Structure 1
């Protein structure tokens, strides 16, 4: 044998190096396998969270629709009891509103223009009910066409009619919608009296809308209410870039 191979220290160092290289390679393989497994588990977890969020949003929308339908049917029922000639027209308007709801329920987003038409149809329905005791303004400043979750504003509009109080013989409702390249602003204000309205309790529709906003626009929206002696106001601001 060569002289060098009979050196015990050299042989031990060589064995140590070989074992170290093999262990290093095995460790790299194990880390890669573990990282791949962790990534797969992370993806499954994110997928599960996404499915849960979609189901939650669907459930919230399902709650909003019966709530909306219940309020509207009460209006039609009141006219039917009076034998009003406008009952067929109310039913037709309601049919158009329901057609929009049924067609948009599965969609995560709809064009803003479609949502505006839906709000205007609902206002038209309420105009028939309130007749000459209603004053409504709906101003739009659409700098950029965007898509939003369906029926995002309807709960605010419904509450304005349901909880609003006529003052000096008129229920006054002012709605303003504005979009820019980065933000969406929605404001609705209605006349109200202290004893008949509350900034903390405005129905299940408003609470569901809060939950939808939190799920869809976390940390990217601001929803505030202002309540004074003669009016109640809701302000919503959404950061579109987020």
Structure 2
């Protein structure tokens, strides 16, 4: 309420200052080549309400209802009507001032006050200036409102994308947890001495999943450690039937990536991979530079399961997440061979 009163007071003060300025503007021009200050004062004072009426009619009626609505023909027509009405009242003002202020003495009237075109020019100079400021302010407010609305839309879209990313990341966890808990259960039944080690590794992975996964970026080494921790858990489950090879070039310490970026590929390799000739073989290759990241993973599998592997929910979620994280700046290719499945990911980190 206080802010509303302040704005109303400010608007009133602005209009008051404007019309005082216009009054002095009239006095200045009508004082040309005359010493009759009384006539100039009264004539300017009488002409001021006419100018205010014309200005407000143009600014608050014609411009918003016709010009802003792109009804140009009606705007032009009604502007002519206003001009005729203004010219009529200006003529009445001239005659009335001559009758009642100059005592019917033409020599007592300033030259400029007897010139109707000049009077109309002065009035419409004010109308034009105020209209220009009004349109300028209206356009500025419109741009500001559009910018605010655009920012709200962008914020909403960003929030939705973050929610979708969070949802896609969370879809990774259940299958991994299910397998890990089954492994712990199996080793616990056997009262294996490896059970505490498995629980510790699982604890480390859960710590990463629960806390680091909420970060937008993590170091590449953190992600690699997470993958190796995951593989070591699976190694306990598969025992001698698992063979994993990880190749990587020298990784810069400041290299960072979104968390949980590669683990879905690794999970898919374990979920859909098959043991052939006594082993499930998985090979992972990393090549990272300042601007590019190349990732490749391949696993052995039975040819009948390749279609399920290639079209599974895991890869679909991976593509959705990559579209959100690296729109138009990544290439994901999956290939199938007789007994192998290969996924290749290339990301332009610079973009």
5+ unaligned residues in a row in structure 2: which ranges?
1-108
Distance 2:304 2:183 in 1: 23
Residue in 2 that maps onto 1:222: 331
Distance 2:213 2:143 in 1: 39
Whether 1:13 and 2:125 are equivalent positions in the alignment is: no
8 Å contact from structure 1 (residues 97, 121) kept in 2: yes
User: Deviations 1:74-130 (Å, cap 9, x if unpaired)?
Assistant: 333444455655344323322222222222132222111011011111111122222
Over aligned residue pairs, what C-alpha RMSD do you find? Answer: 2.0
Residue in 2 that maps onto 1:181: 290
Instruction: Kindly indicate which of the two structures has a greater share of residues assigned to helix.
Output: 2
Distance 2:343 2:205 in 1: 23
In the superposition, the TM-score normalised over structure 1's length comes to 0.90
Whether 1:51 and 2:51 are equivalent positions in the alignment is: no
Distance 1:19 1:102 in 2: 66
Distance 1:163 1:63 in 2: 17
CA shift at 1:230, angstroms?
A: 1.5
Kindly indicate whether structure 1 or structure 2 has the higher relative contact order, using CA contacts under 8 Å at least 6 residues apart.
1
Residue in 1 that maps onto 2:198: 90
Distance 1:240 1:7 in 2: 74
8 Å contact from structure 1 (residues 226, 234) kept in 2: yes
Aligned residues: 241
- Residue of structure 1 aligned with 2:342, choices 208, 233, 240: 233
User: Deviations 1:114-170 (Å, cap 9, x if unpaired)?
Assistant: 110111111111222222222211011144332212111111111112211222222
Distance 1:73 1:237 in 2: 33
- Residue of structure 2 aligned with 1:200, choices 302, 310, 314: 310
